A = this chain, B = another copy of it.
């Protein structure tokens, strides 16, 4: 019922092998023959059988992209950029590659499950994005999974994730970005800063927090553990954490959030508490997602070149761009100072 390569061959009066060569284009074929084959393909409305092709060639045109949450623009932007670079020449049958997006929801188990599923599909490459869970058992499990994938010929790239020996890595300088951000706040005169951290045991959370604390330490500001609250990377967490921080220390003059989404929640909580931004409390985010500039006042944050990093990850995954020296490249964030941060009201007296 379904038309196969053999049918095309029969109609074009050539052997199946020749049809295969024409379709994959990586073999010399006489122009006239090629045209005849192509016409037959067209007339028969033939579509290559991907699984059969993958089986015979022992490799597929699938590229896995692991994300924590595809509904979050942070991942959506990277996924989009990666996907835009995986097509083009080089693959089987036209070089079109398909992106398999896997939503792990930040769950270690699902991450492993998806990696196995991708291994099963004989994925040509896999890109893991975003922060990783720090549990050592999981790190080891992922590492061994990555080794197996690599052994099977799957190219591995980490994007916005800490380096792993098994893969080429484009990591974000979360620590440095956070450091500069808090430094900026301190320079404005802030001394009591609340910090809304991400979920515990995530590398992103830890690195950003470390950068924040390092900046505090460098300025001789004692780190008050009561001024750090952990929570998920969402708006509600930012809202709740802000109320909590305000309650713990009504005198704080600035709130640094783990990311922009959380910062938006913080802004809402502040407004609902009758506090003005930045007059009463400064707020800062991280990532510089598209909506950050539309917050009122516009959000001071650290811009991560998500699209650029994703695009590069995609090219590296396809072998179209050389891996960075040592297999690791660090991508820096850029401090974006906007209206949500200003000197605290007491700065005149205090400074």
Contacts and interface: CB of A to CB of B under 8 A. Distances in A.
Contacts of A100: 62, 98-101
A222 interface: no
Interface string A82-94: 0110000000010
A102 interface: yes
Interface string A269-300: 00100000000000000000011011110000
Interface stretch (A68-76, A135-143, A194-202): A68-76
A97 B115 CA distance: 13
A320 interface: no
A77 B71 contact: yes
A121 B51 contact: yes
> What bracket does the count of chain A residues touching chain B fall in?
35 or more
Contacts of A116: 47
A113 interface: yes
Nearest to A55: B51
Nearest to A264: B294
Interface in A106-130: 113-114, 116-122
Contacts of A295: 294, 296
A231 B98 CA distance: 29
16 contacts: A47-B120, A48-B120, A50-B120, A50-B122, A70-B79, A71-B76, A71-B79, A72-B73, A72-B76, A80-B103, A83-B101, A83-B103, A99-B102, A264-B294, A271-B296, A291-B294
Given A2-B152, A75-B76, 9 more contacts: A45-B148, A47-B116, A62-B100, A71-B76, A98-B102, A99-B102, A100-B100, A261-B290, A265-B294
